[in-house]
Amino acid sequence: MSMCRKLLIASAAVAALSAIDTAVANADDYIDFGTNQAACKSAAKQANAAGNSYSYCYQTGPGHYTLYYAD
């Protein structure tokens, strides 16, 4: 999978989270990114740039990454 496609998927995940954020108040979400650390960190950075929530990417196992997203 190309880097451009990975970033597009990460951007789509952030857009989906934004839609969820407006529909559900005070919801915490965990999004599995598998072994794609770069996409996980990119999605966290984009979500934090929005300013109305916080998120971070963390390693849940050997080479496995999950995005935590909270408003």
pLDDT score at 12: 66
In total, how many domains does the chain have? 1
Band (45; pLDDT cuts 50, 70, 90) = very high
Structure tokens, 68? 């935590």
Cα angle 46, 48, 54 (rounded to 5 degrees) comes to: 135
What pLDDT score was predicted for residue 25?
46
Range of the domain at 41: 3-70
pLDDT 10s digits, 19-35: 555 444 455 789 999 99
Nearest CA among 50, 7, 43, 3 for reference residue 58: 43
Chain-wide mean pLDDT for the chain?
79
More confident of the two residues 60 and 27: 60
Q: How far is CA 49 from the centre of its chain?
A: 12
